[in-house]
């Protein structure tokens, strides 16, 4: 069965907000523990200057420590690319490196260019990347555990399977949001509400920031600002849960 999706308008709206704000709004729904659903600090934005990335996971596993049983380097790539058109757009490629520790780079300039040319908007891997300078001009968000200079015996043992990256199991078709702060999954059933709630959440936080940036400040004033912020957040939470 094809995974559920949201409208292009919701995807566009989600791109307007940073990943911490998206995480804050997700918490209001109490669908999962607050420390679940986002990738841990092993996975970092290699190009933190890029704007937020939003898309649906196209998954694969990867090995580079030994030659593939059959085929050649990057075996399975054509099949993976062909599947882009069968899922929802935009695509974010998510790759679990099965070698522990990673033996070689999961991606570089050619792979990122290929993915981008066929419609992907980003890449996430538990492994490493390379061609740092060559990938940067592509403006293609990449999230990885680090950088490595060679690609070893690279191949994709499995495609379109659940993968484990940054402590999170990601299913094919999962909705992802990532920026320089990290990557989170967004439960599809609340994605539209999350997108709509981000502006109000930011507005609530602005109450505290406005007070702190005002003239004289004291503990009493800060307490009042925090209470007002909390009241706005609670009102937002109530509206979100009534949807």
With 70 as the cut, is the pLDDT of residue 1 above it? no
CATH number of 41-174: 3.50.30.40
| Cα separation, 14 vs 17, whole angstroms | 6
Q: What is the pLDDT of residue 76?
A: 80
pLDDT in tens, 143-152: 999 999 999 9
With 60 as the cut, is the pLDDT of residue 156 above it? yes
| Cα separation, 58 vs 62, whole angstroms | 13
Share of the chain above pLDDT 70, in %: 98
Q: Supply the mean pLDDT for the chain.
A: 94
Q: What is the pLDDT of residue 181?
A: 98
Q: What is the pLDDT of residue 2?
A: 60
pLDDT in tens, 63-103: 999 988 876 667 688 899 998 988 899 999 999 999 999 99
Q: What is the pLDDT of residue 87?
A: 86
Q: Which residues contact 154 (CB under 8 A, 6 or more apart)?
A: 62, 63, 64, 73, 74, 104, 105, 106
Write down the pTM of the prediction.
0.95
What angle (nearest 5°) sits at the alpha carbon of residue 23, between those of residues 96 and 175? 45
Q: What is the pLDDT of residue 72?
A: 63
With 60 as the cut, is the pLDDT of residue 185 above it? yes
């Amino acid at each position: 069965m094809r995974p559920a999706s949201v409208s292009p308008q919701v995807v566009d709206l989600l791109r307007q907000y940073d990943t911490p704000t998206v995480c804050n709004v997700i918490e209001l729904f109490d669908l999962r523990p607050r420390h679940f659903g986002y990738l841990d600090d092993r996975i970092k934005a290699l190009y933190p200057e890029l704007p937020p990335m939003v898309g649906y996971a196209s998954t694969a596993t990867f090995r580079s420590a030994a030659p593939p049983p059959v085929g050649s380097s990057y075996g399975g790539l054509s099949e993976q690319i062909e599947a882009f058109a069968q899922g929802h757009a935009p695509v974010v490629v998510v790759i679990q490196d099965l070698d522990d520790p990673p033996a070689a780079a999961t991606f570089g300039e050619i792979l990122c260019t290929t993915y981008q040319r066929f419609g992907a908007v980003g890449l996430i891997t538990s492994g490493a990347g390379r061609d740092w300078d060559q990938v940067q001009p592509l403006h293609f968000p990449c999230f990885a555990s680090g950088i490595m200079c060679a690609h070893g015996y690279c191949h994709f043992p499995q495609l379109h399977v659940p993968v484990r990256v940054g402590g999170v199991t990601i299913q094919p078709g999962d909705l992802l949001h990532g920026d320089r702060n990290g990557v989170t999954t967004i439960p599809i059933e609340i994605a539209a509400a999350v997108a709509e709630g981000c502006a109000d959440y930011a507005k609530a936080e602005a109450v505290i920031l406005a007070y702190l940036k005002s003239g004289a400040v004291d503990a009493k004033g800060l307490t009042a600002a925090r209470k007002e912020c909390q009241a706005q957040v609670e009102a937002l939470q109530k509206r979100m849960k009534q949807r």
